[in-house]
Amino acid sequence: MSSFESTVPGEPGDRAVHAAATSEPKGRAGVSTPALAPGRRTERKDTVAEPGAVTIVVPTFNESANIGELLRRITESVPSRLACEVVFVDDSTDDTPEVISEAAQDCPFPVTVIHREEAVGGLGGAVVEGIKAATSDWIVVMDGDCQHPPSLVPELVATGERANAGLVVASRYIKGGSRAGLAGNYRVAVSRCATWLTKSLFPRRLHGISDPMSGFFAIRRSAVTADILQPLGYKILLELAVRSRPREVTEVPFVFQDRYAGESKSSAQEGLRFLRHLVGLRSASPAARMIGFGLIGATGFLPNLLGLYGLTAAGLHYVPAEILANQLGVAWNFLLIEHLLFRDRRRHRRWWDRAGRFAVIANLDLVLRLPLIALFVDRFGMGVLSATALALVTTFVLRFVGTEALVYLPRRGHQGAGRESEAARRAA
């Protein structure tokens, strides 16, 4: 393994910029890149000689046209007031990593580039990687498209110190802030709806945060445990606020600026990932999952009744029609809980294993209900209606517990083996 090295000019004691490379295959722009097995993550890191007072984490995806301007703005506004380092976590398919390495030569602060071959968790996952790589007490997260003004970085940190806060959010929605850089009425409407929805779903967790959709914030490294974060998409502040929100939170107004170059990465697909992320966060507790499980089960009556109507209209006897129609409801419920409630646990079993187990548990509901009703009526002297209601509640709870324990929890030894294989993969 060989490496190439260059020196970043700056203040006395210039810091060296290192990037791991091989003498083998040449990458984009003639820069050597590590030869890795598929799915491995590539890291191109510039060694930081000393920790700064703030680490600026910038997730990037095909932002090569913005890199030079962003680093220029950081150079003009941050180092004179606050020692810093910049960590780019890059998921690009263009030459953004090479552009960063070249632009870093003119920076008076350390610049690190972590290039991920697999964009796990999207831009939110990139931020988590940056948090893990940070060396400073304060971490500022900002976008790479120049819509977040670097001149605000020292104020974010200073405000956090003055307020003894763990999280400082740059907000577009308090006095002095503006969302002027949002392009078009459509994006403004989407931003408003997303903000309203998140604050409605998490009123306690987001209390005191007027702009939970902001991608510009400062957080103390001691206030966040990166390993518990499970980001999906680009709204990492929401993930931080819900899973590990610091006790003290404050805000600083900022004006959302126009994108310097390129196009927005927002899309309908990102919108769907955001909605899935919301559902995953909201259903994180067992009680919330049980409520969601019940609501999904209620929606299963629709395909069940439609199937029953169609089968009986075709001349099938109502008993086999009822059994077949019930399978439509089971399939409907399975698809919804797969994608909404237990998305992060699907890796523990193959899909056909999960589907088969879920179908068995769901159909046992019919088998158990009648004997339970008879038991409640004959043994405990309950009325038919109250016995039926109690049987429905009982089988629902059993169905939920059975689904969580027998379908989506790891098999015995599977979780430990998974950790071992992950550790081996990282060590390789």
Render pLDDT for 315-369 as a digit per residue (tens, 0 to 9).
Answer: 888 778 877 888 888 899 899 888 777 877 777 788 888 888 888 888 887 788 7
Residue 125 and residue 311: Cα distance in Å, rounded? 47
Beta-sheet strands, E only, within 50-198: 54-60, 84-90, 111-115, 138-141, 167-171
Top-ranked range on mean pLDDT: pick from 69-83, 119-133, 196-210, 332-346? 69-83
Residue 164 half-sphere exposure toward CB, CA atoms < 13 A: 1
Tokens of 414: 């599977």
Alpha carbon 21 to its chain's center = 30
Q: Measured between alpha carbons, how far is residue 130 from residues 43, 62, 180, 232, 358 in Å?
A: 12, 17, 28, 15, 39
Tell the residue number behind the tokens 């009680």, with chain if given: 287
Percentage of the chain exceeding pLDDT 90:
19
Residue 277 and residue 125: Cα distance in Å, rounded? 12
Beta-sheet strands, E only, within 150-267: 167-171, 217-220, 249-253
Q: Measured between alpha carbons, how far is residue 7 from residues 20, 22, 49, 280, 308 in Å?
A: 15, 20, 12, 45, 74
Tell the residue number behind the tokens 């029953």, with chain if given: 308
pLDDT of 121 > 80? The answer is no
8 contacts 15 by C-beta, under 8 angstroms: yes
Q: Which has more pLDDT, 27 or 52?
A: 52
Alpha carbon 103 to its chain's center = 29
- Check residue 148 and give its pLDDT: 93
Tokens of 353: 């294993």
Tell the residue number behind the tokens 């509901």, with chain if given: 365
3-state per-residue secondary structure call for 301-365: HHHHHHHHHHHHHCCCCHHHHHHHHHHHHHHHHHHHHHHHCCHHHHHHCCHHHHHHHHHHHHHHH
Residue 198 and residue 348: Cα distance in Å, rounded? 29
**3-state class (DSSP) for residue 264:** coil
Residue 244 and residue 241: Cα distance in Å, rounded? 6
- Check residue 426 and give its pLDDT: 36
- Going by pLDDT thresholds of 50, 70 and 90, the confidence category of residue 269 is low
- Check residue 324 and give its pLDDT: 86
**Sheet with 84-90: strands ordered across:** 111-115, 84-90, 54-60, 138-141, 217-220, 167-171, 249-253
What pTM was computed for the model? 0.61
Tokens of 285: 């507790």
75 contacts 108 by C-beta, under 8 angstroms: yes
Tell the residue number behind the tokens 């009556």, with chain if given: 301
Backbone angles phi, psi at 250, to 5 degrees: -135, 170
pLDDT of 285 > 70? The answer is no
- Check residue 250 and give its pLDDT: 92
pLDDT of 288 > 90? The answer is no
Provide Rg for the chain, Cα atoms: 27
Angle, helices 64-77/153-163, rounded to nearest 10 degrees: 60
- Going by pLDDT thresholds of 50, 70 and 90, the confidence category of residue 149 is very high
- Check residue 29 and give its pLDDT: 34
**Helix or strand (DSSP H, E) at 426:** helix 414-427
Residue 227 and residue 266: Cα distance in Å, rounded? 26
Q: Give the number of residues written for the chain.
A: 428
